[in-house]
Amino acid sequence: MSSAIARIFATVLPGLAACATSGCGRADAHAAGAPGEHGPPRGRIVVATSTLCTDLARTVCEGVPGTQIEGLMPAGVDPHLWRPTAGGARMLARAEVVVANGLRLEGRMADVLPKLARSGCTVFEASSAIPMDRWRTADDAHGQPDPHVWMDPSLWARAAEGLASCMAREDPDHAAQYAANAAAFAARCDRVAERVHAAISTIPPERRLLVTAHDAFGYFGAAFGIEVRGVQGLSTESETGLANLRTLLDEVVARGVPAVFVETSVPDRAVAALVEGARARGARLATGGTLHSDALGAPGTPAGDWEGMMLDNARTIVTALGGDASGLDPGEPTR
């Protein structure tokens, strides 16, 4: 554990101790509907790490009474680099269930999540609900699985089913509701996948190359038939290699790819360097827009939930690479 996180947890040890003795909230004041020490009854507290995990938890727990979802990371925050704040640590200490992505997405929480699990809280990792043979490993990632599993709708549906099973064990009275929510979400995932696949297939084949700031779109590319390159590696903590930039530049220029993309949660320096390099060679390369990779947009905006994010990203990509994005219009019903 880093000294910073150790200091944070030192301030909330009493809270963690309460969590450890609660048996994941079944037996005491942590239980759903049980009265808080002061004030009205508290719900079952589910704390999720990234905005994608918070959205998943809200989807699976929708309509279940006595369940309160709290998100640790605000919109637009990079989960690779996020460290628990003092407020976040207090939130975690009250949680009965923590929903994380896993596969080291929450790189700065690597010590915190096992500690919570040992303390008696249930820690659900979305990636653990996905069969290991579906995990993707990037060529240059030294065997580290790609954590960006939400980019493939069929995998994110599995994550929802896994969370529904986990919540049913915590809260058997509402098992049917959790299962129904996950099944409804899986159906939505199928429809999103159909629409995105159809739109991506309208991009001229030689332009089906998605270049982004970091390597977050591998699952997206595999699911929808578009090659993917990230200027940085799987984590935004990776250094951008000059050799990698040159190789990418050669490929983008040779294929006449018209656009590369920045990401909301990652600085755009590396992508800007790529655009500048291509223009120096006389190529027409533009920034095709901003994609939501590791963080949702603010609530109420087009990319404010998983479905909106997938459609918004696809619309940006298809439009900039010269395809037909009309099937992704917001007015098109998915639900």
Q: Which residues sit at the interface with Zn ion, rule CB under 5 A?
A: 216, 294
Q: Strand pairing partners for 35?
A: 41
CA gap 307, 155 in Å, rounded:
14
Sign of CA dihedral 283, 264, 53, 308: negative
CA gap 276, 199 in Å, rounded:
29
Q: How far is the CB of 263 from Zn ion (least distance, A)?
A: 8
283 neighbors 254 (Cβ within 8 angstroms): no
CA gap 309, 96 in Å, rounded:
28
- Strand duo 259-263 + 286-291: pairing: parallel
Q: How far is the CB of 121 from Zn ion (least distance, A)?
A: 25
Q: How far is the CB of 81 from Zn ion (least distance, A)?
A: 10
Q: How far is the CB of 215 from Zn ion (least distance, A)?
A: 7
Q: How far is CA 5 from CA 20, 63, 86, 97, 103, in A?
A: 18, 35, 9, 20, 20
**Collapsed DSSP state (helix, strand, coil) of residue 47:** strand
Q: How far is the CB of 79 from Zn ion (least distance, A)?
A: 7
Nearest to 81 by CA among 213, 237, 293, 233: 237
Nearer to Zn ion, 62 or 237 (CB): 237
Nearer to Zn ion, 43 or 233 (CB): 233
CA gap 4, 10 in Å, rounded:
10
Contacts of 323 (CB under 8 A, 6+ apart): 199, 200, 201, 202, 203, 204
Tokens 């994609």, residue located: 291
Beta strands in 101-248 (DSSP E): 122-125, 209-212, 227-230
Q: How far is the CB of 148 from Zn ion (least distance, A)?
A: 6
CA gap 284, 293 in Å, rounded:
25
Nearer to Zn ion, 60 or 234 (CB): 234
Q: How far is the CB of 40 from Zn ion (least distance, A)?
A: 39
**Collapsed DSSP state (helix, strand, coil) of residue 195:** helix
Q: How far is the CB of 294 from Zn ion (least distance, A)?
A: 4
Nearer to Zn ion, 25 or 233 (CB): 233
Q: How far is the CB of 244 from Zn ion (least distance, A)?
A: 16
